[in-house]
Amino acid sequence: MGEKEKQKLIDSKELLNRSDISRATLNNYIKLGIIPRPLVKSPAGGLKGTKKIGYFPETVLDTISEIKKMKGEGKSMGSIARKVRAVTDERTSYAGPERREPDPSSGGPQDAGTAIQMEDDCLKLTLDEIKTPAYLLNYQFEIEWINETAEHSIFGKPIKSIRNVELRNVFRLFLSWEFSSFVRNWENFLDYHMAFYKVKMEKENLSQLYTGMSRRETQYLHTAYDRVQKIPMEKIYQHVVDIEGSSGTKDRYIVYTTFFREGMFFLYTHADTVTEGITEFLSNREVVVRDLLQQRLPTLVSFSVLVADLQNSVRICAELPPEEYFELINSMWRILEESFRQYNGIYGKRIGDGVVYYFLKKQDPDYIMNSINCALAIRERMTGFSNEWKARKKWLNDLYLNMGINEGQEYFSTTAPSSTNVEFTALGDTINYASRLSNLARYGTILTTKNLMNQLDDPHRGKFRYGIRKKAEDREVFIENVFSRVDDLLKGNETWRQRFADISTLPITEIVDNKAGISKQQGTGNGNT
């Protein structure tokens, strides 16, 4: 038996572990022909769940070490490939009849692409495997996700550490002195992104891209808007981009851009390399969006949150057949969703028979007014909805949606439990207080915090009738334009005082109606009634 026939083979998983390269890099080396195509056959040792796996000569490890050494010396992949290919055939060629083992399912030999696909998907490109620059922009052109390579190679700074989303606007970044000193041809780079902006937005909106924009920046962006052409709306748009570094380095990239409802995804690959699987990866849109949203950067934002909860839902559930109860709940949320859309509410997460909606400051400066008006509109809709079910069931149950509203600044992000379900969420006391107020409210009451009302100026605050209900002897008195601590409202009801001890010192008030014409809610009260 010849020397070549005795050479040891290692499977692809061992190769990746010992060489410390990514699956995408291995694909690239195979495509360039600098390491041989794998021998595909049944795995040794009977690996569970793996029908076929690729094997390489162990000498490939030496080849990869040489490639790393030459890359460290600054050689281009083109020159590396030419040098390695000159000696690879003799050094790493396969011997023996097993070189192309037939695939039982196809009856024929495997090419490189098929061989890689058959390794139980272990070489398919994933978001975590992307080692070239990549980032996701929302349609305000703010960075929602970015990998470390893009931070280092494109922006020259740690973007992930910027928590204020407006400070992650790419045009703000491009116009900074830091970027212009890092990238010599920064104007070309800005123009490239402006071409995408021109597809989605009008020129007049440029001045609203981010706060604190100077007159010089506004004028420059308007000029850039006029000089660029819209990019064609393709599912996957490809373009060549050159980046000239401040030290004189020049890198040419092929940039793949694809559009999602959530934003635009930019993926860079070096023009002198071939990265296999890019198109297939980007075409799997649901998986890409899910992975991106699961890793979305937390953002510190100002918002108002509305938490609404159905009163006596347990009793109502017990009284109705299951199909009617679910019909009631789903019909209720479908009706109320119109109000949330009208006032720019963003769906958070349904909690049992309750729901959370966010109103973001960056989307609408009137976000606090929107949250209050939305709550009042919901209460009006609930009155009609309740009457319909009372007539239908001939029962005496009134359906009340108790609401708590609060305003604050918290870290805001998204989660994606599945490819079709995206949930917005925020963490912190802002949401916790709103949730506790919805638990405290009774009979359709809308409770909010002094903190929220203090964010409104006098004219806006004056549009609402708000205050506290106090018991005076045998009657209830409504005192307008005042607040009360939760604990003071619950005196005489020790059970409820203990239940809400965590917010006992929180100053709150009840919003009764909008003086512009939304009807009053009579018979409301809080947890001590």
Here the CATH number for the domain that contains residue 55 is 1.10.1660.10
Could you tell me if 69 and 94 lie in one domain? yes
The percent of the chain in helix, strand and coil, each rounded to the nearest 5, is 45, 25, 30
Angle (deg, nearest 10), helices 367-393 and 322-342: 150
Could you tell me if 119 and 186 lie in one domain? no
pLDDT band of residue 92 (cuts 50, 70, 90) is very low
> Collapsing DSSP states into helix, strand and coil, what is residue 35?
coil
Residue 471 has, within 13 A of its CA and on its CB side, a CA count of 12
Q: What are phi and psi of 123, to 5 degrees?
A: -110, 10
In a domain, 149, yes or no: yes
Report field, pTM of the whole predicted structure over 0.85:
no
The pLDDT of residue 129: 73
Give tens-digit pLDDT for 16-39: 888 888 776 787 788 777 888 888
Residue that is last in its domain, among 294, 313, 338: 294
Is it the case that residue 274 has pLDDT exceeding 70? no
The enclosing domain of 432 has a CATH number of 3.30.70.1230
The pLDDT of residue 55: 85
Give tens-digit pLDDT for 356-367: 999 988 778 899
The single residue listed with the structure tokens 């809308």 is 446
Give tens-digit pLDDT for 180-224: 899 999 999 999 999 999 988 899 989 888 888 999 999 999 999
Could you tell me if 340 and 385 lie in one domain? yes
In a domain, 119, yes or no: yes
Could you tell me if 77 and 11 lie in one domain? yes
Could you tell me if 143 and 114 lie in one domain? no
Is it the case that residue 134 has pLDDT exceeding 90? yes
In a domain, 352, yes or no: yes
Could you tell me if 370 and 277 lie in one domain? no
Q: Give CA–CA dist 153/140, Å, rounded.
A: 23
Report angle CA 200, 172, 234 to the nearest 5 degrees. Answer: 30
Both tokens of 73, joined, read 């010396």
SS (H, E, C) 200-269: HCCHHHHHHCCCCCCHHHHHHHHHHHHHCCCCCCCCEEEEEEEEEECCCCEEEEEEEEEEECCEEEEEEE
Alpha helices in 400-457 (DSSP H): 429-440, 450-454
Whether 266 and 144 have beta carbons less than 8 Å apart is answered as no
Q: Give CA–CA dist 452/448, Å, rounded.
A: 7
- Pick from 446, 411, 418, 449: which is nearest to 433 by CA? 449
Could you tell me if 243 and 112 lie in one domain? no
Q: In one letter, which amino acid is 235?
A: K
In a domain, 253, yes or no: yes
Is it the case that residue 529 has pLDDT exceeding 70? no
pLDDT mean across residues, the chain? 81
The enclosing domain of 210 has a CATH number of 3.30.450.180
Q: What radius of gyration, in Å, describes the C-alpha atoms of the chain?
A: 31
In a domain, 521, yes or no: no
Whether 296 and 414 have beta carbons less than 8 Å apart is answered as yes
Residue 313 has a CB neighbour count (10 Å cut-off) of 16
Could you tell me if 370 and 497 lie in one domain? yes
b/e 462-489 (16+ beta carbons within 10 angstroms → b) = eebbbbbbeeeeeeeeeeeeebbebeeb
Could you tell me if 91 and 144 lie in one domain? no
Residue that is last in its domain, among 94, 123, 152: 123
The pLDDT of residue 435: 92
Could you tell me if 194 and 49 lie in one domain? no
Is it the case that residue 112 has pLDDT exceeding 50? no
In a domain, 241, yes or no: yes
Give tens-digit pLDDT for 54-67: 888 888 898 888 88
Number of domains in the chain: 3
Range ranked top by mean pLDDT from 23-37, 85-99, 253-267, 442-456 = 442-456
> Please, what's the largest Cα pairwise distance for the chain?
107
The single residue listed with the structure tokens 């509203």 is 405
Length of the chain: 529
Could you tell me if 92 and 159 lie in one domain? no
Mean pLDDT check: name the lowest of 69-83, 357-371, 374-388, 492-506. 69-83
What is the residue range of 465's domain?
Answer: 300-514
In a domain, 528, yes or no: no
Could you tell me if 340 and 230 lie in one domain? no
- Pick from 480, 476, 484: which is nearest to 467 by CA? 480
The pLDDT of residue 389: 92
Residue that is last in its domain, among 72, 105, 123: 123
In a domain, 388, yes or no: yes
